[in-house]
Amino acid sequence: MSESRAEWGKRIECMFSGIVPWYDRLNRILSLRRDVGWRRALVQGLALSASPGVLDLAAGTLDVALELAGRFPHGRIVAVDFSLAMLRQGQAKITDRPQPVPLSLIAADAYALPFPDNQFDAVTMAFGIRNLLDRAAALMEIQRVLAPGGQLAILEFVPPQTGYFLLVYRFYLYHLLPWLGRLLSPRGFAYRYLAESIGAFPSASEFSRELQDTGFEQVRIQALTGGVAYLFYGRK
């Protein structure tokens, strides 16, 4: 019997809550610090006023939310994740800062956001959508909370396609990465899941179509690091 959305969510939440102590460090090591620039590019690609309302969904340890707060110090930045442990780890980064950070943290499920309709100028999501079993439902929920004309910005890994570099990437993803995950953390299964979930994600053009099918307009994509990661933008 296939897993329900709730069962899947519980399993994913447990997995992320269990890797919190290693999460940021392994992100840097496994991506050779590319992840920092990818998140920055995600935020830089948004066209927003000086004081926007932005929801960072699947915010994890707040790397994107902090990037948003740094770029829009007069904005209203809201970070949502269903793993309290991930949010708490991120909160420690805020308390370390000398200046107040315009950031609210909320523990909630991406399918049932605790906000009225038409609230946000933008929704960002880095490495979150791949972990959602029912992508269409999650995208509809994002549509609901976005203001008319509001922007969606997604950063995600897509499966390796063709080409010499992507052959190397394929070897890295399916062999080296799970091995490094086992070596560098006691939660090796999470890094096997990472490789498997990337393999199961649609191609960049298929996911762009999914965005259009759920009503997003002006969809554009940008490949990062030779197609290892992609930025996807769309408007409500």
Ligand X SMILES: C[S@@+](CC[C@H](N)C(=O)[O-])C[C@H]1O[C@@H](n2cnc3c(N)ncnc32)[C@H](O)[C@@H]1O
Residues lying near ligand X in the complex (CB under 6 A) are found at 9, 12-13, 16, 39, 58-60, 63-64, 81-83, 86, 109-110, 126-128, 131-132
Residue nearest to ligand X as judged by C-beta position: 60
Question: Quick check: 203 and 212 in contact, CB under 8 A?
Answer: no
CB of 164 to ligand X, least distance (A): 28
DSSP for 13-48 reads: HHHHHHTHHHHHHHHHHHTTTHHHHHHHHHHHT---
How is the beta sheet containing 146-157 ordered, strand by strand? 103-107, 76-81, 53-57, 120-126, 146-157, 229-235, 217-224
Rounded to the nearest 5°, which phi and psi values hold at 186?
-80, 5
Nearest residue (CB) to ligand X, 140 versus 167: 140
Nearest residue (CB) to ligand X, 81 versus 121: 81
Question: Quick check: 207 and 158 in contact, CB under 8 A?
Answer: yes
Nearest residue (CB) to ligand X, 40 versus 235: 40
DSSP code of 173?
I
Task: Find all residues with CB under 8 Å of 170, minimum gap 6, and list them.
Answer: 160
Nearest residue (CB) to ligand X, 11 versus 149: 11
Nearest residue (CB) to ligand X, 12 versus 204: 12
Nearest residue (CB) to ligand X, 46 versus 110: 110
Which strand (E) or helix (H) includes residue 136?
Answer: helix 135-145
CB of 141 to ligand X, least distance (A): 10
* Alpha-carbon gap, residue 94 to 59, rounded angstroms: 14
CB of 51 to ligand X, least distance (A): 23
CB of 42 to ligand X, least distance (A): 9
CB of 113 to ligand X, least distance (A): 9
Residue 123, SS3 per DSSP: strand
CB of 162 to ligand X, least distance (A): 26
